[in-house]
Every structure is written in structure tokens, then in C-alpha cells.
Structure 1
């Protein structure tokens, strides 16, 4: 059996480069580093020790994208070229038409939740299509699934992420800043109530070595997907924060200007703040964390609260969102059975599966 050819779109970018690096070491996988900038693709492929023909100049919006995938012999597409907010499903449709599996790292609430619109086409093509193969909802839902049997009734899911010093790619920053100060809804005590991006400031204490961090409310796919996946849950909330206190409080204040309609958006600040974050990185903590807190009633009828944590050091936190696509790609390359159809990335990986893809890094699980 030949190697499983995986094309990583945005393969020289912030997350794509990490995914390519891991998959390139797998003997059963042939990685194609793809993106609009052929020179960058070639430079990175060369850095990884790949052949020149494993660097591909490819535009996600090209009308012949499906034909190119067939020409290249692609079996699986991993789409990392965000931001996904405002994108359509052109890449996923092209993959389906080419008879290829499709995985993306999308964090856009509507984008991930809407991937089911491609379910029939994916089933007919016999391919696996999933969106949100990242910390959210792939890892967060795996954590809830792991502990759900300990509850007679799960009432509340509160979870969040505190980043380390290493800033994500500019595209990700633009996606994050696009909803600063913008309205969304989350489920609270059985009612859908309004929130605004990067407001609702809260102090959360992660386990050492991360420590306390400021967090704010973020619009993520879980807020819509979890109430459907876990019937009976009355509260679902998610918050996130930067490693640097001043940076987080600046974005929080600026988000108020958008909330009060004094600024239309913070997207224009993404590039200068991204550059500033890179400059300040040596003076900011290289540690980050993720938590999932579950509350409800145990099988003994008593109240039950479980707190799960993941902590990362040495700026290895950015590898965490890559874990799902790496794990899924290896499953597909190994010929393990995967469902045909299109779905949000929930129920395809256990916590153990997910973290096995990250075992080389300074990332530690602290079970509940």
C-alpha cells in the first residue's frame, strides 16, 4: 500500500507548519506543503527535508482546486488557512468532489456548526469531513465525554484557555479581533443571554506553573454545539485570555469602545498588536493552560464538580490546537475506519487519542 498523501493548506503558516512538521516524520504519510506563496512553501518543505514536488502553489479560492487535488493524488486535505469567520465551504466542497477527506482547524462558531450542510455530499462521496479539529470543540468535547458517565445530570460546562507568550498567526489574530466587542449569545441557567466578545472580565487561577490569568468571554462553536450534544445542560460558557496582563486589559478596554459603537471593529489593530506581541514575547510567560469545569449531580444524588486542566510550558501551547488534525490524519493514513459524512469534530477522538499526538511536547494533563 502506498503512502497516504495529505495536503496541508496554509502549510507554512503558524499552525500548518507545526502539522507538516509532525506528519512529515510519519513513514506512512506523504505531506504536501501548500499555499498561495510557492516560494514560502518550497522554503519550508526544504527545511523539513521534503522533495521539491512536495511544495505546492495553491489558492484556496481557485476554480480548479478540485482538479488540482485529483492531479496531486491527495487523499486528505487539512485546511489551516484562516481566519474562517466569513469563509465559505469552497475548500471542503473541492475536497469532496476530489474524493478526498477534509479536516479544518476552524474556530468560527457558525462555520463549524454549519459543516453539516455538506453531510449528504460527503456520504455520497464516501469521505470523512470534519470542522473544528482543534482545542475547540475536538478536545473540549472529548473532556466532557470522558467525565460525563460520572454524572447523573450534567448542568454546567465552563471552560477556557489562557495562552502563553507565543502569539498565534496573524490570520488567527484577525479572527479573534473580529468579534471583540461584538454581540453573541450563550446558554445561562437555561436561557440564551447576550454577551459581547472579550468583555465579562474574570480572574481564573490555573494550576502552577501557569497561575492566575485574566479571561474574557469569547464566541466559540462550543456555545452552540454543546447544548445540542449534552441535553439537559443549562449553562455553557467559554472564556480566554492573553498571557500578558497589560495586553489583555488593553484588548478588554478597546472591546468596550466597539461595544459602545465608538469603534466599528478592532481588526485593524490585529497587525500592529501581533507585531508588538512578538517583540514582547521574551518578557511574557511561556506557559499557558486550558480548563474544563463540569458541575451537576452525581449518581449518589449529591452535587458534583470536576475540574480538568491542561498546562503547557516552553511556548508549546500552540501545538495543542494541532493535536486533533495530527491524530485524525494518522488514523486516516493507517486505514482505520472513519465515518463518511460531514460533522463538527466531536466524538472522533478521546482525550488519550488527542494528547498522544502531543507527547513530544511540554504539555501535561491534570485529570479531574
Structure 2
């Protein structure tokens, strides 16, 4: 508990009533030493969440704030509410600029987002000099990728003399709540070209193609996967110069739904459709017709291949399982860890992607609150 002389730290969650933002607010509201501000353009949605959180946590300090990054008073409102940290969850981040992060730097407010846009996360370092001069921490991509993925890869990379190939992916359960922002983020690169490191060469591939089946462990089994564009595809070769291949995949649990999206990717690739994200709202409504199918189980895998310190072929397979529809908590855990570190002043000033900023043990502290667990298998070939 705070004494009368102590001041609460204020965490503003932009998009705080969204699919991921509301989960971050729910976790932060349990800490009475933090003032949580649910921010966004929709006052009604923010107020409904505020009432629900106050009812569940009577000792919580939760407020709302109408905040629109397109309004001229955005920066002034942040300063007026005495924000310590701004958590940006209002995606999709594709085609967003750094206006919000820039405002935070000027106002000396720490910034963290859950972006998975390759360009957005990779180029956040362009703000590093300004953030360092203002002694502000700016972290982008505090989510499943690159946040959690980089933690897993960095932890196991120490077991390799040379890490050659990395492929990893995710598959949410069909009975897990889906958000429009997430769909738009995925659909934005469906059928679109992007570069991927394959056998030592950069090759052009297309979003949601290269369809195949992937094993996610005994509790989930085999699921369809297709290639996706994420920041890690650019960050990993920078971190591991000897890497020959880096590939990321994602997929839908229901096979025919995955197949439908694969077919749509060709319409975009052949330029019959400019951008599938324009149809995200309609596709979201159609998807609700199938919400009773499938399971509430989601998963993530990381497969590493290279040579061990006896120069023998060596591989590691890491599988994560989220049961009971708890998979939506996976992307917010890296953000919660970063918020905690910011509150405790454990991070150096500057702007950078969320890579190598926390350990798997720190992830497990949060993961054990939900039905989220992981297993590892290692094999010398």
C-alpha cells in the first residue's frame, strides 16, 4: 500500500477496451499502487470496462480518458493526466507512424506497444537518439513476436555452436475470442510479398502461402500453417549472422477456414483484391458462424537447428500450449513484463524492439496464472 507521501504511477492504456488492451487493464487494475487510465476514442466502451474493473477490484484506481492520436490535444492530455507510461495497443500497426511514440518522448513518458508490424518494430530504433536524450524508454513489439519468440530463441541459442535454421509459428484455438484489429493486422499482409531468409538467400514469399501441417505437441496435435511477415524475419538474421533460414508461420485451427484464407491470398497476389484488410469486418462476422467448432486450445512452437559444441547436428523443439481459451493472454505477457520493468526503472533509456529484454522465467511468473505451459525436446542427430 502507498503512504500519503507517495505518488501513484499512472499507466495509460491506449485502446484499453480492445481485445488485448482490456486484458492489460485487468492485470494492472489489481495493483492498487497504480492508476490505470483506459484511453481511446470510445468513451462508452471505456466506461463499461471501468465499471467492471471497479466492481471486480474495489480497491483499484481506474479512470477513463477520451484520447485520439489524430487530435491536436493528444500530447496535452497525456501531460495533464501525469502519465508515467503509455501502453499502445490500438492496432493494427501496419502503416502507422511514430507520432504517438514521439509525443511520449517529448513529454518524457515511457512508451511500450504490442506491435507485430515488421517495418514499425524494426524501425523504432530511428527514435533512439531522441529517446536517449530525453531519458525515455521506448519499446516496440512487446508481444508474442518479437518479444516472447526472441526470449525463447536467445535462451536456447546458447546450446548451439552455430545456429543455422529457425522456424516458429502460432495457432490460436477457434473458440478463443477474436478482435477486429487483430484480423486487420493479419489480413494486411495476406497475399502480399515480403522477404524471407531461406538457405542463405533473401527470397520473396507471399503472405498466407507455403501452406503445410505443423505439429504443436500432443495436447494440440497437427495444425495448418502458412507463412507470415513479422519483425523477427529481419531482426533474427541481424542477431545471428550465420543464420541460413528464418521463417514464421501462423494458422487457423479449422482446416477449411485456413484453406479459404489461403485461396483469398491468391486473389491478392494476382491483384484481383488490393488489400484483404478492407474486408476484415465482413469476414469477422462470417467467422462467428463457426465459433462453436474447434477447441479453446492455442499453441506456439519454436524449432531451432544447427550444430552443438561437438560440431554434430543438433535440434531443439519448444512447444507452448494455452488451454481454456487463455491463449489471448500470451501476447500481453511481454507487455506486462516490460511495464513492470519500467515501473521499477530497470530498463535503459532509448528506443528499440522488444528483444532480449526478459527471460523465460519472467514469462512463467505471469503464465502460471493461466493454463499456459511449455515443453522442450532436444535431439542430437
For this structure pair, what is the TM-score category when the shorter chain's length is used for normalisation? over 0.9
| Structure 2 residue aligned with 1:147 | 156
Aligned residues: 367
Given that 1:42 and 1:52 are in contact with CA atoms closer than 8 Å, whether structure 2 keeps it comes out as: no
1:51-200 → structure 2 map (5 Å cutoff): 54-165=63-174, 166-200=176-210
Shift of 1:167: 4.5
CA distance in 1, matches of 2:324, 2:238: 36
Given that 1:77 and 1:100 are in contact with CA atoms closer than 8 Å, whether structure 2 keeps it comes out as: yes
Q: Which moved more, 1:267-276 or 1:71-80?
A: 267-276
CA distance in 2, matches of 1:94, 1:203: 44
TM-score (norm 2): 0.93
| Structure 2 residue aligned with 1:35 | 40
CA distance in 2, matches of 1:168, 1:131: 22
| Structure 2 residue aligned with 1:217 | 227
CA distance in 2, matches of 1:70, 1:39: 23
CA distance in 2, matches of 1:3, 1:287: 38
CA distance in 2, matches of 1:53, 1:245: 42
CA distance in 2, matches of 1:308, 1:12: 32
| Structure 1 residue aligned with 2:18 | 13
Extract unaligned runs of 5+ from structure 1.
Answer: none
CA distance in 2, matches of 1:215, 1:33: 35
Shift of 1:316: 0.8
Given that 2:367 and 2:373 are in contact with CA atoms closer than 8 Å, whether structure 1 keeps it comes out as: no
Deviations 1:308-361 (CA, angstroms, capped at 9, x unpaired): 11111111111100001111112222x242110000000111112123223211
CA distance in 1, matches of 2:107, 2:274: 40
Q: Which moved more, 1:277-286 or 1:192-201?
A: 277-286
Report the CA distance shift for 1:52/1:343 in structure 2 as closer, same or farther (over 3 A): closer
CA distance in 2, matches of 1:29, 1:52: 7
One of 278, 281, 293 as aligned partner of 1:283: 293
One of 222, 232, 257 as aligned partner of 1:247: 257
Shift of 1:205: 1.4
| Structure 1 residue aligned with 2:369 | 360
Given that 1:109 and 1:221 are in contact with CA atoms closer than 8 Å, whether structure 2 keeps it comes out as: yes
Instruction: Work out whether 1:25 is the aligned partner of 2:35.
Output: no
Given that 1:150 and 1:298 are in contact with CA atoms closer than 8 Å, whether structure 2 keeps it comes out as: yes
1:198-347 → structure 2 map (5 Å cutoff): 198-333=208-343, 335-347=344-356
Give structure 1 regions of 4+ aligned residues with deviation exceeding 3 angstroms.
50-53
TM-score (norm 1): 0.97
Extract unaligned runs of 5+ from structure 2.
Answer: 1-5
